[in-house]
Amino acid sequence: NGRDGLDSLSLPKADFRGLIPFEKSFYVECPAVQAMSDTEVAQYRQLRDITVEGREVPKPIRFFHEANFPDYCMQAIAKSGFVEPTPIQAQGWPMALKGRDVIGIAETGSGKTLSYILPGLVHVGAQPRLEQGDGPIVLILAPTRELAVQIQAEATKFGSYSRTRSTCIYGGAPKGPQIRDLRRGVEIVIATPGRLIDMLEAGHTNLRRVTYLVLDEADRMLDMGFEPQIRKILAQIRPDRQTLYWSATWPREVETLARQFLQNPYKGNDRNS
């Protein structure tokens, strides 16, 4: 479950001086979505069991083309044979593409992985290319090896259309191949907290370039006692990043953590969850 490396939590304090500004807002509202009245938006959300909170929440999309994804994303979606966005994608994609922090309440199987992977690929495509010694641009934290490997499969499949490289860093597996991937340079890292801290402490990677952060199954991460590791990792990431915080449930501990690490977030809830 990636819980190795828990005892030696000694990472140098991150220095955020002189950070270069970066682009994180990419959403261009489709004319058909723009034309939706408030009543139509409310009806669609009710039909798909979506609830939202937050300031200026964008309207949901109803069809894939309304998200205005780049061609490579649309190719990947077409190849996958999906018929329509899941509720959490319909509302989650516009929120994520706007560059604001997002809280998503959704179960596994709701399509949530793609609701953050595709905007993550768009985000990577807009940043300067990685240089020698750079760490990832997108970091996805997951509580278990099983979930990390599932996310990696999606990142690989959809990332292949834009030549976006990813790797999976988790405990209970040999470190050699993971270190090789990190040293070579990857745009997306999917990791369990313990093994990632091992890699950071050993200097195999760094989080200075991370501008898009995902915490998946935050409730399980807290249940498994990962809060100190999460705090340690997040302290290494620039404060003006975009953060997407996913949880199947919304207990007080999960909400408290979200309040500390997210700024002015949208919240989308797939009530089917």
Quick check: 182 and 189 in contact, CB under 8 A? yes
Tokens for 255? 């909400």
Q: What is the pTM of this model?
A: 0.93
Please give the C-alpha separations between residue 235 and each of 25, 118, 146, 159, in angstroms, as whole numbers.
23, 25, 26, 27
CATH of 31-270 given 3.40.50.300, 3.30.450.20, 3.90.180.10, 1.10.10.410: 3.40.50.300
Confidence of residue 15 (pLDDT cuts 50, 70, 90): confident
Q: What is the pLDDT of residues 87-123, one digit of tens each?
A: 999 999 999 999 999 999 988 778 899 999 999 999 9
Quick check: 248 and 209 in contact, CB under 8 A? no
The overall average pLDDT reported for the chain is: 91
Task: Tally Cβ neighbours within 10 Å of residue 80.
Answer: 11
All structural domains of the chain with their residue ranges: 31-270
Please give the C-alpha separations between residue 64 and each of 98, 107, 121, 139, 245, in angstroms, as whole numbers.
16, 21, 16, 25, 23
**Quick one: pLDDT at residue 271?**
64
Please give the C-alpha separations between residue 126 and each of 23, 26, 30, 101, 220, in angstroms, as whole numbers.
7, 9, 20, 18, 32
Q: What is the pLDDT of residues 119-162, one digit of tens each?
A: 999 999 999 999 999 999 999 999 999 999 999 999 999 998 88
- 220: phi then psi, degrees, rounded to nearest 5: -70, -35
Confidence of residue 262 (pLDDT cuts 50, 70, 90): very high
**Quick one: pLDDT at residue 272?**
58
Helices and strands, number each (H, E), in the chain? 11, 8
